[in-house]
Structures are given as C-alpha cells and as structure tokens.
Amino acid sequence: MNQLTVQIRDRGVLTLPSELRDKYDIGSGKVYQLVDLEGVFVLVPMIPMVPELAQEIEAIRKESGLSMEELLAGLREQREKYTAEKYGK
C-alpha cells in the first residue's frame, strides 16, 4: 500500500498529490462521494460502475463470511495499528 501525506488547509480544502490525481484521473469538476467508515474515509467516484463494484465487494464480503461489523472492526483495527506505527499512539 502506497502511503502519502496530505494536509487540510483553510476551509477544509484537501489537495491530493499529483501522482494520485494522474493515476486515477481525478480532475477539477469530477464528482465523488466521501464515505465515512467510522473514521476511515473512502473517496468514491460517482460513475455508473459504483453500484456494480459495491455488489462485487458485498459478494466477496459474504463469501468470506465477514459481517459488516467485522469488516468495519477490521478497518478500525488496521487504522489503530497504522496510527500506532506512524505516531506512536
């Protein structure tokens, strides 16, 4: 996983690094949905593929036997580990 640092500026402005903007074709005027998974933020492009991808992710989650609560708990655990490693907290 590639880790990049971003900074929140005045009025909540967040500038994504150019390598991410180039890699994912993120540009001015494109619309995204910000999903808050208990403090883990996911930026989702608002394109017709999103429902299909969500269905695929849900199928994989069910196939693995994870509940949504377990999935979110795993995400929280990973966030805590990352925070502890990165900031010693």
Q: How does pLDDT run across 64-79, given as a tens digit for each residue?
A: 998 888 888 888 899 8
Residue 2 or residue 69, greater confidence: 69
Residue 20 within a domain: yes
Domain that holds residue 59: 10-87
> For residue range 36-57, what is the model confidence (pLDDT) as tens digits?
988 888 888 887 667 788 888 8
pTM score, whole prediction: 0.45
Task: Answer whether residue 73 is part of any domain.
Answer: yes
Query: How many domains in the chain?
Result: 1
Q: Is residue 2 domain-resident?
A: no
Residue 1 in domain? no
pLDDT of residue 9: 92
Residue 42 maps to a domain = yes
CA distances from 44 to 21, 34, 50, 59 (A): 13, 6, 8, 18
What is the pLDDT, as a whole number, of residue 71? 84
Percent of the chain with pLDDT over 90: 15
Handedness of CA 80, 23, 51, 13 (dihedral sign): positive
Give burial (CB, 10 Å; 0-12/13-18/19+) of 7.
exposed
Q: What is the pLDDT of residue 1?
A: 65
